[in-house]
Structure 1
Amino acid sequence: MSESPAIIAHRGSACDHPENTLSAFAAAIAAGADAVELDVQIAACGTPMVIHDALLERTTGQPGLVQELTAAEIGAYSAHEPDRFGQAFLGEPIPSLATACHFLAKHDGLLVFIEIKEETLRRHALPAIMQRVAEDSAILGNNRVVISFVDEAIQVAGSLYGLRVGWVLPAFDPGTIARARTLAPEFLFCDRQRLPEGNAPLPSGCWNWAVYEVTDADEALDLAARGVNWIETMTPAALRRGLAQP
């Protein structure tokens, strides 16, 4: 049997809590996640906010665009995901990156993957984004990894700010793997649906493989046998229980 891979809580324990919120992160930590992944969009004032979508409607039920609102204005929204949870989490705030990192830093050894979303990179200058992300996550020290689909973003994060980085693969083909060898990130993230079929080992390199979205323990172990070190899941508690089964 393959050694169990480490678990990344995808936007926290997003199966049973509003994604990218402190309550989702707390639940993930309680479930025994080894790491948490969160998403960053940049507010109009330049503040990194922890939210996946550029639009606020899916997670708050209210219209609005993150890049057109200040952090203070975004703070008035409730990220309770009414379509999924009704009013059960009403009042759950959208945290700033600084707030989230101060919360997560209380948990020794927890790794935090900070994904910079493509939409925000199209609206703000990349060096300014990375400087602010580096500053607002500084409390995490070496327990933070900046990830993105945009290869230039991780190049800036690594070369200018000395941050650990991971590349989220936009495709799985020889050209993309060749680009990964040039970028030499510490982590390569890939959607499970993009992986080649079969049981062949994934391409090796200087990186650790992280695959998402995985909820089944048997699949996680099969991926580990192919060289996957990290499994990203929105169901960290259930996956941890499944991996603990003999």
Structure 2
Amino acid sequence: MIRVPHIIAHRGASIEAPENTIAAFRIAQVRGVNWIECDVTLSANDQCVLIHDDTLDRTTNGTGPIHQQDLSTLRTLDAGAWFSDIYKGERIPTLDETLDTLAALYMGVNLEIKPSGCDAMVLARKVAATIGNRRDVPILLSSFDPQVVAIMAELCPGLDCGWLVEDVPADWKAQYTALKAAALHVDQEQLTAEKCAEITGENVPLICYTVNDPDRARTLLSWGVRAIITDNPALMTTAIPPIR
């Protein structure tokens, strides 16, 4: 699996700036984190854009399903004022814009492929086409959708794709192997020392989300977790020393 740092900023520095925006990614870098996690889905005209929810309502001044709006409309929306007046005018970024920004900042990305109401296979192919042969940004893909995880091994054979789960299924190893996944991404609340030992004992890289308590982070890392995804990179980089 691609080498990832032990701290990844969840949707950027999302405790300090509006999630999944260029501002949040820039602040994460200032806080000493060199990888971010973000969510990619499709507009109505099949353009790759960054947003977490199925709808626009929570994180923009728009309404309704994101996949029913074309890119030109999405780019007129305010994706920052909901968080703070400081970020008024922040836009929904495209995947291209995000990758260009991360390349300039020398950052890597855990890119979650999130259908959010659009066709998952179309999204997977569009992401693969957008990524193309870019080598200027380290990329780890991931998805909750097993079909997406499986097809990314074909579409992007040079990139790793992690399988996202909330609960670890009893037959996780068989499913993981069948999907040709490169890492297991798990809700940290479901993890125990025993479960971590079971997963890492199979030489499966384990990444967990979303960890905002430094004590919990230290515990998870001591159990063999490869990386934690956090809303608060400033706190985590202060509380947890670099791992060599």
| Superposition TM-score, scaled by structure 1 size | 0.87
2:177 to 181, 187, 197: 181
Give the aligned partner of residue 65 of structure 1.
Answer: 65
Distance of aligned partners of 1:28 and 1:202 in 2 relative to their CA distance in 1, 3 Å threshold: farther
Contact 1:202/1:226, CA 8 A, preserved across alignment: no
Partner SS state of residue 110, structure 2: strand
- Residue 134 of structure 1 and its aligned partner are, at CA, apart by 1.9
Which letter maps to 1:47? Q
Render the CA deviation track for 1:20-74: whole Å, top value 9, x for unaligned.
0000000111112131111012001000110101211100133132111111110
The question of whether the paired residues in 2 share the 8 Å contact of 1:184 and 1:206 is answered with no
Provide structure 2 residue ranges, at least 5 long, that are not aligned to the other structure: none
Q: Report the number of matched residues.
A: 235
1:1-246 mapped onto 2 (5 Å cutoff): 6-82=6-82, 84-85=83-84, 87-108=85-106, 110-120=107-117, 123-124=118-119, 126=121, 128-138=122-132, 139-140=134-135, 143-162=138-157, 163-196=159-192, 201-204=197-200, 205-244=202-241
For the Cα contact (< 8 Å) 2:150–2:180, is it kept in 1?
A: no
Q: Aligned to 1:244, what secondary structure does the other structure show?
A: coil
Kindly provide the amino acid, as one letter, of the partner of residue 166 in structure 1: G
Q: Does the 8 Å CA contact 1:185/1:207 hold for their aligned counterparts?
A: no
Is 29-38 or 68-77 further displaced after alignment? 29-38
Q: CA deviation at 1:140?
A: 4.6
Residues 199 and 164 (structure 1), Cα distance of their counterparts in 2 relative to 1, 3 Å cut: closer
Deviates most, 132-141 or 233-242: 132-141
Q: State the alpha-carbon separation in 1 of the partners of residues 98 and 73 from structure 2.
A: 18
Q: 2: CA distance between counterparts of 1:59 and 1:201?
A: 38
Deviation by residue 1:99-133 (Cα, 9 ceiling, x = unmatched): 1111111233x32111111424xx3250x322221
TM-score relative to the length of structure 2: 0.88
C-alpha separation in 2, matches of 1:125 and 1:37 = 19
The answer to which of 212-221 and 188-197 deviates more is 188-197
**CA RMSD after TM alignment:** 2.1
Amino acid of the structure 2 residue aligned with 1:157? M
Measured in 2, the distance between the counterparts of 1:160 and 1:198 equals 35
SS at 1:38 equivalent: strand
Change (3 A) 1:45 1:229: same
